[in-house]
Amino acid sequence: MQNDIPLTPETTMTDSKKQTGINETQQLLLRKLPGIDHILEIAKQDQELGGTPKTLLTDSVRQVVERLRNTILEDHQKIHENAFMDKAILENIQRIVTAAMKLNLTRTINATGIVVHTNLGRSLLAKEALDQIQMISGRYSNLEYNLATGKRGLRYTAVEDIICELTGAEAAMVVNNNAAAVLLCLDTIARHREVIVSRGELVEIGGSFRIPDVMEKSGAILKEVGTTNRTHLIDYKRAINDQTGLLLKVHTSNYGIVGFTSAVGLKELVELGDAHHLPVMEDLGSGTLIDFSKYSPLREPTVKESVNTGADIVTFSGDKLLGGPQAGIILGNRNIIDKIRQNPLTRALRIDKLTLAALESTLRLYRDEEKAINAIPTLNMLTASIDSIEKKALKLKELIEQSDNERLAVTITDSASRAGGGSLPLFELATKCIGIRIRKMSAGAIEKIMRGNDPPVIGRIEDDLFLMDMRTVQTDELTEVSNAIRTCLKGS
Ligand SMILES: *Cc1c(COP(=O)(O)O)cnc(C)c1O
């Protein structure tokens, strides 16, 4: 045990090059530096530190002693007279241990107003989905086992029926995400063949997912037609030759081309495909199962519409407007889906069982649209009434103002939230924000403290005002947000 720790103050004093030219005070201080063995012993006795994993504790002790030694050598005037006391040393160790024990992936409060925020984890799962993840991951399951026959089954079976039921599709399967779905479909349908796509639809989605790059990886050959703002049916028609394998439509979900524009609708493309015996695929990106226009100013084509219009294959994400886990949903023509299943790439892109569990539960909720909107947080936030958002704002204002600090000014302002996740790019949803101003503190400083809070609160700055959009802050997070503001007041 003792041999684990080679460093003692004595040995380092003679070893260290830094020792040359040190004065008497420094020598005295170095001699006072407690030994690592000693600190380890008292740390083990300490109630809070006692349970720390051994290597982490030893590491932390070394770090603390090392820091003290460096301070003595570099700027010994900074050494506090209590610095060598057990209590001070244990406190420093505790700080290092606490930081190291904290998980890197941490719960965050989204006050950005962007509902499907890719950097903050996109969709929050419904309670039903969370319960099912817990149930399925803690036990064995029939993931790839057919209980009726006692033989091997397919993991997609769990969700195929419900996807078909909700969309009217003939067949369906699911993979890791929509990027994987697009890759897999292109590779299966159009390897070494030409895929005709409009220049206006060659999208890049944050995180460098570019349709042209994915196509290249899939082995399909991209054939761009039209111009950025206008593409006509005749452009597709002229591009068709005996190398053509697929007509592709990409939902331009993270931007809008406005002004002098023209795009070919799915219906016309399907007719063209039929005439030339070519399959038509639509990458819907966000993909929704409900018609949002009934509940809000949002308008996004539904998956069912694409299927009804006659797309042979449709793909979309599980964690965008659907409000489920990260997944790529592929549906459409049974023959094509069967071919996709046999593609060796499918194995590399397969969906994980936790995801599958969450996806099935989420999809089930859609059997009753009203229930889905209530239970699926993404839908709930997107369709929230301005009154309910204002209610949250008023409640938060009240909580914050309990601090009764004369430096603090809390305002409620009108603003706009966005759907995010590359969906509904041009729509802005009216919302209410809480604005925070603290005298003698910049908005940047407030933002930084909020971001460093536990849990972190992510807002934005506008005109030197720290803003928090109440659409994406959950009701049960209001107290934590107001406590974070209190930390700002203390920290200045
Ligand atoms: C978001 C998006 C993708 C990628 O989906 P992921 O699930 O993030 O992999 C692909 N195509 C379009 C049009 C998208 O909007």
Residue minimizing CA distance to atom 5 of ligand 1: 178
Supply the DSSP symbol for 490: H
Atom from ligand 1 closest to the CA of residue 423: 15
CA of 118 relative to ligand 1 center, distance in Å: 11
State how far the Cα of 426 lies from the Cα of 255, in Å rounded to an integer: 7
Q: Which helix (H) or strand (E) holds 331?
A: strand 328-332
Q: What is the pLDDT of residue 6?
A: 38
State the architecture of 125-375 in CATH terms: 3-Layer(aba) Sandwich (3.40)
CA dihedral 49, 51, 53, 54 (to 10 degrees): 70
Q: What is the pLDDT of residue 204?
A: 65
Yes or no: say if 467 and 461 are a contact pair by the CB < 8 Å rule.
yes
The single residue listed with the structure tokens 């992510």 is 458
Residue minimizing CA distance to atom 1 of ligand 1: 285
Residue minimizing CA distance to atom 3 of ligand 1: 285
Block means of pLDDT (10 residues each) for the chain, length 492 residues? 39 49 87 90 89 93 93 87 86 94 95 94 97 97 96 94 98 96 96 93 68 83 85 93 96 60 85 97 93 82 95 96 97 97 95 98 97 97 96 98 92 93 70 96 97 96 96 98 95 67
CA of 192 relative to ligand 1 center, distance in Å: 23
User: Is the C-beta atom of 324 inside 6 A of ligand 1?
Assistant: no
Long-range contacts of residues 206-212, Cβ cutoff 8 Å, at least 24 apart = 206/118, 206/254, 206/422, 207/118, 209/179, 211/182, 211/250, 211/283
Residue 455 preceded by cis peptide, ω within 30: yes
Mutate to test the pocket of ligand 1, among 174, 202, 209 (most ligand atoms within 8 A of CB): 209
Residue minimizing CA distance to atom 15 of ligand 1: 285
Yes or no: say if 418 and 253 are a contact pair by the CB < 8 Å rule.
no
The full set of domain ranges for the chain reads 15-101, 109-115+383-491, 125-375
User: Is the C-beta atom of 361 inside 6 A of ligand 1?
Assistant: no
State how far the Cα of 106 lies from the Cα of 99, in Å rounded to an integer: 13
Q: What is the pLDDT of residue 2?
A: 38
User: Is the C-beta atom of 178 inside 6 A of ligand 1?
Assistant: yes
Q: Exposed/middle/buried for 428, CB within 10 Å: 0-12, 13-18, 19+?
A: middle
C-alpha count within 13 angstroms, C-beta hemisphere, residue 153: 16
State the architecture of 109-115+383-491 in CATH terms: Alpha-Beta Complex (3.90)
